Chains A and B, each alone.
Chain A
Amino acid sequence: MQKEVLINFDRCLGCRSCQLACAVAHSTAGNLFGAILNGEKPRTRIFVHQVGGQKAPLNCRHCEDAPCIDACIAGAMHRQEDGTVTNVGGEQQCTACWMCVMVCPYGVIRSDAAGTMALKCDRECRDEAGVPACVRACPTGALVYAGVDEYSGRRRVDVLARALQQVSGNF
């Protein structure tokens, strides 16, 4: 089953390690010290926000019915075989019309530094095991790379364990 970057919202401490790892993974040097010494300015494609008392990361959901693909006038935004939605390597080049930015329900598409291209999670950061950089960088397990059913199954067991422990007092 295809894996997604899923979020345990209660685990996020707001450390922004995912953002840094995402930016580094998209640098030419490919490592933190190298990128800094080269003077590179790679941009993150995952975003950590403070919402009320909650800290939370958010990145592209790679929607099945992706509005950004439908809205892309240039024909740059497309879906790859593995399900990844990206505007790199499409039929045409991204023209920075920002249609994708406007229709994205999650607000996770942004501009590159020069304002010449839309930038989004492209999963071009996965290691040999196929795990994205943001997930590898997360020290608390707030970001999980898993199949959706596998993830929800785990959550069900978790919530049931807690609920039934309260009922029986000694589950």
Chain B
Amino acid sequence: MKDTLSVDPASLKMLEIARERGIETAWDRYLAQQPQCGFGELGLCCRNCNMGPCRIDPFGDGPQKGVCGATGDIIVARNLLRMIAAGAAAHSDHGRDVVETVMRVATGEAKDYAIKDENKLKALAAEFNINTEGRTVKEIAKELAEAVLEEFGTRKGYIQTVERVPAKRKEIWERLGLLPRGIDREVVEAMHRTHMGVDNDPANLILHGLRCSISDGWGGSLLATEFSDVLFGTPQPVKGKSNLGVICKNAVNILVHGHEPILSEMLVAAAKDPELVAAARARGADGINLVGMCCTGNEILMRHGIPAAGNFLQQELAIITGALEAVVVDVQCIMPALGQLAACYHTKFISTSPKAKFPGAVHVPFDEHHALDTAREIIRLAVENYPNRNKDRVFIPEDITEYVAGFSVEAILKILGGTLNPLIDAIKNRSIRGIAALVGCNNPKITQDYNHLNMVKELIAKDVLVVETGCAAIASAKAGLLLPEAAELAGPGLAGVCRALGIPPVLHMGSCVDISRILVVAAAIAGELGVDIADLPVAGAAPEWVSEKAVSIGAYVVASGIFTVLGTVPAVLGSKVVTELLTRQAKDLVGGYFAVETDPFRAAELIINHIDEKRAALGI
């Protein structure tokens, strides 16, 4: 679908306003970038050393080797590995920040935080062989955090949390040498291998890419999820509202955007501070309205039902409403365009992480030692900015859709009555044909949300339970697919299950690091059935993916044995060897493999065929 920029009515209204006001957005910049470099699109450009830059002629007409002698296959494989490493680094560094916060809670340095989920803390302690008997929560937390921080540079063989995979999966990883030896180590080794003159075997490079991605999916991301739950509580089903209409005309509006919940959790608390609410009222506002964007939004949505203003391509549109007093950002997926855009309005663009500074931003450094004070300072900046709002330039689209989110593994188990058996039975008797995980971003190469929503609708109509995270989940929230009522769009089998349990046919399982929750469920189902993850009628998809994190996600999902469909073309087609490896040979090696399908209907068909194949093999 190319003739419209978005299927989201709120986005379309805001894009019209942007056009009237002569404001540029990512869609305009995408057009200005056309045509994009073909060498880059194929992954055939290498900038890893200063004999280059080199590029390989994909048609065999021009140079076929870089100065060092690297072929297209080598260059494509090296570039892909670097993307995986960058994505794994982003997720895992986020994880480290959360674990360090738990450590500071334990040592009493981060006095504004507490351990919210003691059960999970103790379960993790048991997993890491830490004694919990007769010890205080803080003592356990300290020893656990120390042990987990060790995982980033461990010397003990491989990281602890891979023990969560079924035995058959671990055997495969052991055989292929894919057990990650430390979360940071695999990223460092990826950079080493891709340095000029090191690893020049495409298959060897890709296999390391899989190992690096496993250190993310079953390491850094998983720990980010688990420790966020320990610190802020494990999500339970929660109702909320979504889309740009959640921005209030008469309130101090604060948009939190990025990925880490460490600051945003404090902002949620500070926004309720009676003194600050009174200050907002004194300036003529009804109150303080905190709304989320992207995965910071997802984190506080999952735990507090904070409204989700939108997904990735709506970050600029939220500012264009003219009704945001502040955009507060932490890390990842924050467009550097926001500074210049915010300057067109009264909106304060506030960066908070020492890792992520932006042109045109006010930097309010955030650290866990003075968390609540910093959060209050940020909210105060927004409140004081309210009188500067130009009411004539405010346009807020009315679109609001309700959602139910908060489906952590624990929440799903609770709904099922404590065990996965009802779910497994439903899969066995074909009420649920299979499970598809739809994740990832928005990409201006694709009509916003078009691929997400059409894949979801196709899949649930054919009785495939859909689980989502990240911007894909927000797309479904905005379209009303996260409501139990959406069961009427599902096939009879799935609809029956949804009605019996009172759940939507599409389960919002969290932010993009929370894909680990999906893996944990898959591993548990496989364990229960005594099979490998690769044997299950499950599939993954990233219909509108953008980021290097998504590349790492795709790699660890495939490495976990799950067939994955990508909706935008990755930069690998310049190498037949690498393309074959990812789309065919991977199946023999790890069970999972990739397909690329830009059409959402055909992509859904690929998933359904795969699910049916797996059902047949299992004899169900």
Contact = CB atoms under 8 A, between A and B. Distances in A.
Interface residues of B, number: 16
Contacts of A41: 59-61
B22 interface: no
Given A33-B573, A36-B573, A36-B574, A17 B35 contact: yes
Interface string A9-53: 000000111011101100000001101110011111000000000
A20 B60 contact: no
A137 interface: yes
B35 A21 contact: yes
B42 interface: yes
A67 B492 CA distance: 74
Interface string B36-80: 011101100000000000010111111000000000000000000
A133 B38 CA distance: 13
Nearest to A48: B62
Given A33-B569, A36-B573, A37-B573, A21 B59 contact: no
Q: Mostly helix, strand, loop or mixed at chain B's interface?
A: loop
Contacts of B574: 36
A79 interface: no
B42 A32 contact: yes
A161 to B, nearest CB: 25
A136 B59 contact: no
B41 A32 contact: yes
B61 A17 contact: no
A78 to B, nearest CB: 26
A83 interface: no
Given A16-B55, A36-B574, A24 B38 contact: yes
Contacts of A20: 38-39, 57-58
Contact of A16 (B35, B42, B62, B573): B62
B61 A21 contact: no
A35 B573 CA distance: 11
A23 B37 contact: no
Contact of A15 (B37, B42, B57, B61): B37
A139 interface: yes
Interface string A99-111: 0000000000000
Contacts of A113: 60-61
Nearest to A136: B35
Contact of A44 (B39, B61, B569, B573): B61
Interface of A: 15-17, 19-21, 23-24, 32-33, 35-37, 40-44, 113, 136-137, 139
12 contacts: A15-B37, A20-B39, A21-B38, A32-B58, A33-B569, A35-B59, A36-B42, A36-B58, A40-B59, A41-B61, A113-B61, A139-B37
Sorted nearest first, the 6 A-B pairs with minimum C-beta distance are A20-B38, A41-B59, A36-B573, A43-B61, A32-B38, A23-B59
